[in-house]
Amino acid sequence: MVEKIIEEIAKRYPLTEKSVGEFARFQARGMTFSCFAYAAEGLGHVSVMTAKGFFGLIKMDTLVICPEQKDLPLLSYDRIYAMGNDTLIMELYDTCVQPITDVSKVETVKQKYARLPERVLKDGAKEYWYDDIRLPQSIAKRGKEKHNFDAFVEEYLQAYLQMDAPSCAREEKVKKTAYYVEGLLSHGGAATDVLKEELGEEKTATLLRSVLFGTV
């Protein structure tokens, strides 16, 4: 699915691949990770991290859109396939310089697919450090492969890319994105904690800042 997302972005914003150095391919927790990063002309920084392991029984895909030239929220896409289960997480984070004016298209898509099974967290109503910037149009679903989350992803992405947003200065946007990135590094999270254990804190920080979010 990440390939399709990249293709859709490229239709609107020409992509130029960036070097990711040592993070092009690495091992962690029995999984093989691959990373890619792109400069999206007129939009900003786009990254992909994929992982496969356990004889193909587990596959994880992450894609991040960090707008730098348009004042859009940051979009984070995660997809986990494991033992016949399909988990989809698409989150929007308010990294905008100006107040977000219209997210109605994304909200419409979210409501259209509201019937799909929700991903229920074990910690219930636990609060998170990023709650103040995570937009309510974010979604988290978990079901069997037959639920076909792909159609949901395609429509959600199209709605996101069609959002009206003014141009902005890169420096201001990067500061907003950096708040989220530094929060991940200091507060941790499921994926970030695994990377820290396997790569160490310094390499994990470089991976997040340079490759996944492009803040340095």
Domain range holding 121? 2-212
The whole-number pLDDT of residue 92 equals: 98
Tell me whether strands 31-40 and 44-53 are parallel, antiparallel or unpaired: antiparallel
The whole-number pLDDT of residue 67 equals: 97
Q: Centre a 10 Å sphere on the Cβ of residue 153 and count the other Cβ atoms it contains.
A: 24
Report the distance separating Cα 98 and Cα 168, nearest Å: 9
Q: SS3 for 209?
A: helix
In 3D space, the residue among 82, 80, 105 whose CA is nearest the CA of residue 92 turns out to be: 105
**Residue 22 CB contacts under 8 Å (≥ 6 apart), including other chains:** none
Task: Indicate the residue type of 72.
Answer: L
The whole-number pLDDT of residue 146 equals: 63
Report the distance separating Cα 174 and Cα 112, nearest Å: 32
Q: In the chain, how many H helices and how many E strands?
A: 6, 8
Q: Centre a 10 Å sphere on the Cβ of residue 19 and count the other Cβ atoms it contains.
A: 9
pTM above 0.85, yes or no: yes
Burial class from Cβ neighbours inside 10 Å (0-12, 13-18, 19+) for residue 151 reads exposed
CATH of the domain at 173: 3.40.1500.20
The whole-number pLDDT of residue 214 equals: 97
The whole-number pLDDT of residue 56 equals: 72
Find where tokens 């391919």 sit. 25
Walk along the chain (216 residues) in steps of 10 and give the mean pLDDT of each run. Answer: 96 98 92 96 97 86 97 97 92 95 94 92 72 96 83 97 94 96 91 90 97 97
The whole-number pLDDT of residue 194 equals: 87
How many structural domains comprise the chain? 1
